[in-house]
Amino acid sequence: MNQEIFTDALVNAGTAYENGNYELSYEWFQKALNENPESVDVLSKIGAVCVLLDKYDEAFDSFQKAIDLDPDNGENYFNMGNAYFFKGEYTKSLDMYAQSLVKGLNDEIKPRVYYQMALICTVRGDAKAAITNFKKFEESDSSRTASLDPEIIEEKIKVYLMDDDIDEAEKLAVELVNLDPSSLSSYMVYYNIVLAKGDYKKAESIVAEAEKYAQLDASDTFALNTEKISMLNAKADAEPENAKETIDTAIGVVNGLLKIAPPLRKKELTLILAELYMKLQDFDKAISIASTLSNNGKVEEFVPNNVEVDGSEPGDEEIDNMADEDMQKIDDMIASGEIDDNMGEFAEVYYDESGNEVREYSDDLSSMILGDETEEPVSEESTEQPAIEDLEELSEDFNDRLNFVLLTSYAAKEDYENTRRVSGYLKNSSNLYYAYFARYTEAFAASKLPRYSRAEVEMEYAEVNAFFRTAMLNREGTSFAAVFRARMYAEVGKFAKAEEMANLLDTNEKQAVMEYINSCRSAK
């Protein structure tokens, strides 16, 4: 062996490695190995570089040679375990880690074995084993710094949440914030845990602390205020006695963000504003705001608030054509006799928009939230902070949410022409509740419009009821379908059938539907 060539090759390989040039590092390590083919150190380093270059077969070969040359060295097994870990072969990785512990490891490497094993247990969904390995990791750490690493604390939080130990996860989140009080992400981890517990007062205080202590650029501030909107929206649902005050606060934050938002974010915020007014049951305001975004059921280029609603509407023929394709399957079922075509008389009904099922549609809002209405726009002269990033595109369900606001508001106002029109846009939504709600309201609106004969209305009710029956048979949104079938049976005076459907529901849904059935019975 030429010691000078060997040493120079190692130095060059190490320098290239440290600078991220792994291909060149690999070449220099190979030169060193050519000088000393039985160097366990070089074999281990070649294996490590091969893992980074996704050359796993060669990595395994190098690590195995190192094990064969020095079978009592636990570090060689640890290196092989890491290769299996990064390839995603966790069972083999655990086996190698276990062998490394049997052979023995120094104080620096031993904690890392337990940490890797904890990560594998997390991936495999074994929370309790992961927690045990995290504890071993900390106990074996002679530096006593393992519990002070934010990344490790975040991994532990994930495990405790997986184990449904929210209290322990919250304790760790407090540690995370205290370790890095300038990091917004630390506050957000803590905030999300507290929000999951439904502690809205504490959630608000965490947001306030983040605003005060975290290092925020303009985009961070915008995101934090968006989080406040979501939290306030959830709080309004959880604390109905204070809902108006909470929603008013949310509206103030949205208005503040609208002053500084780029175009696509402004569209999202405008829709959220309409949803909030809908929740307040200020349906005129909700319609006015939502209409600035709507062009016959589709989002149009953003226009400022207070723009007049486009008066153009599809005609009766266009509305009817919208249903043709969807109703073909239902027509076939009617022809086969699968539906009950004796629907009876129609009763006068009150449309109750504030039912529980409507409140279930807050998933989109739960990922967005509010800010302070006194927040000023970012100065155009400022170059200290990056501009607020615009969305690349609107959310996939934007049009559906928009039409749901309009449909709900028109129905609550008993504007059945517009209810009928907008339901045609929404009934093919991928969101089952939106789609089912639209089909139901479309039929209900027809029953209120004098231009539809009783025979036409009965036929449409029969079609929609058949559609919901088929949905239940196919196990698609069965709870929603049962709710609407119960309502429709009640509206036509078939109270026994309505109660049959109601009895299929859970306690809360059943109570709400029974109240509706009884209101229809009283109207009779």
369 found inside a domain: no
Q: Which helix (H) or strand (E) holds 295?
A: strand 294-295
Question: Where does the pLDDT of residue 500 fall: very low under 50, low under 70, confident under 90, or very high at 90 and above?
Answer: very high
Q: Which pLDDT tens digit goes with each residue over 309-330?
A: 333 433 444 434 433 443 444 4
Total length of the chain: 524
Instruction: Identify the pLDDT of residue 280.
Output: 94
Residue 208, Cα to own-chain centre: how many angstroms?
A: 24
Chain centre distance of CA 469: 30
Residue 40 lies in a domain: yes
What total number of domains does the chain contain? 1
Tokens for 225?
């205020």
> Which structural domain range is residue 70 located in?
1-103
Higher pLDDT, 96 or 319: 96
Residue 28 maps to a domain = yes
Q: Residue 35 domain-assigned?
A: yes
User: Which of these ranges, 279-283, 333-337, 509-513, has the smallest mean pLDDT?
Assistant: 333-337
What element of type H or E holds 298? strand 298-299
Contacts of 270 (CB under 8 A, 6+ apart): 258, 289, 292, 293, 302, 305
Judge whether 295 lies within some domain.
Answer: no
pTM: 0.66
CATH number, domain of 59, equals 1.25.40.10
Residue 469, SS3 per DSSP: helix
pLDDT at 440 over 50: yes
Q: Percent helix, strand and coil across the chain, each rounded to 5?
A: 70, 0, 30
Q: Domain for residue 50, yes or no? A: yes
Q: Minimal CA–CA distance to 504: which of 472, 474, 471, 465?
A: 472
233 within some domain:
no
pLDDT band at 424 (very low <50, low <70, confident <90, very high): very high
pLDDT of the residue at 322: 39
Tell me the pLDDT tens digit for each residue of 272-294. 999 999 999 999 999 999 999 98
Q: Is residue 368 part of a domain?
A: no
Distance between CA atoms of residues 90 and 198, nearest Å:
36
